[in-house]
Chain A
Amino acid sequence: MAAGLHSTRFYALLKREFQRYVRRPWNTFLPPMITNVLYFSVFGVILGARIEEIQGFSYILFLLPGLVVLGAISNAFENASFSIFHGRWNKYIHETLTSPLSYTEMVLAYVLSSASRGVIVGVIIAIIGALFTPVGIAQPFYLVAFMLVVTLLFASLGIVGGLVADDFDHLTVMNQFILRPLVFFGGVFYSLEILPPLWRTVSLLNPMVYMVNGVRYGFLGYSDVDPNAALAVLSGLTVAVVVIDVVLFARGYGLTD
């Protein structure tokens, strides 16, 4: 299953995947820009002014890391799932499949390019947030590490989504009915501290809580959960999902007859 990376082949697919979204900024970067300007305006400025500080941070500043995570993982997931599914739907993924790329090379190219889109969108959202409120980076290492891990994780989950989907509607369902609720209840808009004990415990089962709090720890130096444990678990999970991706590709799941 595993195979060494052949730099030219791998780079060719990575570059193709990267250029696919970079050359279409109206489709890939403009929508999250508009959405987040609205989030910061309405939740941060208009409503935020009426919300008390959380753990000593203004609401808009508390909100910012959560919105960065929301945008980053949504885009990483969407990019991978769309790229795989659209390629399957129009069958041009055959160009890749009939080439001498190893299955590991294929998966890593899709995962890394999709994660890069998530990171870029995350940076864009952070810059938009900085236009609304001064923001610093308290823990740069954790910020970079969590951003990489969460985008890689959701890019690799997006591959599973793209392989499993039989219709474009399935992609919408995954995003709207699974991803978005998990993120919204993952502590983007509130601190777990304000929840009753039962719901606080239930929330800890939501993996988004660890991602949002990890990135929040990077920006603000504050987290509801232990950032080291969160980073370790998320890293393990990412490796596991990437391995699943490679196995699915090797078995031709959703790709071959």
Chain B
Amino acid sequence: MTLAIEATDLVKEYGDVRALSGLSLAVERGEFFGLLGPNGAGKTTFINTLVGLVRKTGGEVRVFGDDVEDDYRKVRNSIGLAPQEFNVDRFFPIREVLMHKAGYHGVSEAEAKRRADEALELVGIYDKRHTRFDWLSGGMKRRLLLARAIVTDPDLLILDEPTAGVDVQLRHDLWEIINRLNDEGTTILLTTHYIEEAERLCDRVAIMDNGRKVTVATPEELMERGSDTITVELRDPPASAPRLDGAVTEIEDVRLEHDRLVVRVEGGGGRVAPRLLNALEDRGHEITDIEISRTSLEEIFVELTEGQRGEVERDGPERDTLEAY
């Protein structure tokens, strides 16, 4: 089946600065795909390359099999974009803004009006349909960006930090809408700074840094790469931490903190905990309480991007790229 997005060795240079440095990425049709990365990682540059706001320097990128430059009209027709910036027409009431956008995609005027009303109702700002963009509150502006992205009924919906700076209620509203669209078959590409957002919504995430892909995995797979912490409370704490590495191979570190034993294990703590408890009981310890804290995706994200920086710094030819940022 044709991929929704297929980028191969994508490069974008601004003078000496490389915003995209040989990015290769594949997003399946119907997938909810997340792009994570620190500021300047190249996420927005990548998105803008897809919709024609950035011209690539090298490499190839296709959307539903069509080249973004050679077949630009087909590609742009299939994409709905909710960008980070408020780039909305200030001259017209928001319903007309949506009708214009639908019209640019070849939708007839009557149908555009119906779709505009439907999109405004979906995002909850239908009452403001006669208002111009500048008079909307910050949250309503975010809602409008989503409405504008979906009014053309896109096959690929791109959301660039859609919930940046919005309150919890709106964030949950937006998540619900996006999830519903994905369930109905729309491919979603989401960039976000909120790790929780990626964890809750995405089928797979790509972590980007310095214009390249660090890794692609499901949120669960990423979590498995981290270290969980199991804290065990003992009735009679020993003078020093017991040796358990022979009994449980996943143990990375054991230390005693007052009457509690803190054990860091590789991968999922829930899987390791029963064997750990057995090992402790075998050694004569009586357990009164246990707590497992899972590693957060945020910690893994920081670890991976920092690791990438170290790798790039050690890599001679890429040094200029890093310094240019």
Contacts and interface: CB of A to CB of B under 8 A. Distances in A.
Interface stretch (B84-92, B122-130, B228-236, B291-299): B84-92
Given A100-B77, A257-B14, A257-B53, A16 B100 contact: yes
A256 B54 contact: yes
Contacts of B55: 252, 256-257
Contact of A9 (B72, B89, B103): B103
A170 interface: no
A8 B91 contact: no
Nearest to B75: A100
A228 interface: no
B307 interface: no
Interface in A76-127: 90-92, 94-102
Contacts of A257: 14, 45, 48, 53-55
B79 interface: yes
A5 to B, nearest CB: 12
A100 B105 contact: yes
A11 interface: yes
Contacts of B52: 97-98, 252, 256
Contact of A96 (B48, B81, B104): B104
Given A252-B55, A256-B52, A257-B14, A95 B100 contact: yes
A81 to B, nearest CB: 16
Interface in B62-87: 72-74, 76-77, 79, 81, 83, 85, 87
B193 interface: no
B51 interface: yes
Contacts of A15: 103
Contact of A12 (B54, B72, B79, B103): B103
B215 to A, nearest CB: 27
A8 B87 contact: no
A200 interface: no
Contacts of A6: 106
B16 to A, nearest CB: 15
A98 B103 contact: no
A195 B89 CA distance: 49
B87 A90 contact: yes
Q: Assign chain A's interface to a size class.
A: 20 to 34
Contacts, number: 87
B101 interface: yes
B108 interface: yes
A56 to B, nearest CB: 47
Contacts of B25: none
B104 A95 contact: yes
B105 A99 contact: yes
Interface in B237-264: none
Contacts of B99: 12
B170 interface: no
A98 B89 contact: no
A90 B76 contact: no
B181 interface: no
B108 A8 contact: yes
Contacts of A252: 52, 55
Contacts of A11: 103
Contacts of A3: 73
Nearest to A96: B104
B177 to A, nearest CB: 20
Contacts of B89: 16, 92, 95
Interface in B98-119: 99-109, 112
A19 B87 CA distance: 19
A94 B101 CA distance: 10
A13 B74 contact: no
Which 7 interchain pairs have the tightest Cβ spacing?
Answer: A12-B103, A99-B104, A91-B87, A100-B77, A100-B73, A98-B51, A92-B89
21 contacts: A8-B103, A9-B103, A9-B104, A12-B109, A16-B89, A20-B92, A91-B87, A92-B89, A95-B88, A95-B89, A95-B104, A95-B148, A97-B53, A99-B104, A100-B77, A100-B105, A101-B104, A102-B73, A256-B52, A256-B53, A257-B55
Interface of B: 14, 45, 48, 51-55, 72-74, 76-77, 79, 81, 83, 85, 87-92, 97, 99-109, 112, 148
Given A99-B101, A100-B104, 17 more contacts: A8-B108, A12-B100, A12-B104, A13-B100, A19-B92, A23-B91, A90-B90, A94-B83, A97-B53, A98-B52, A98-B76, A98-B79, A98-B81, A100-B77, A102-B73, A256-B52, A257-B48
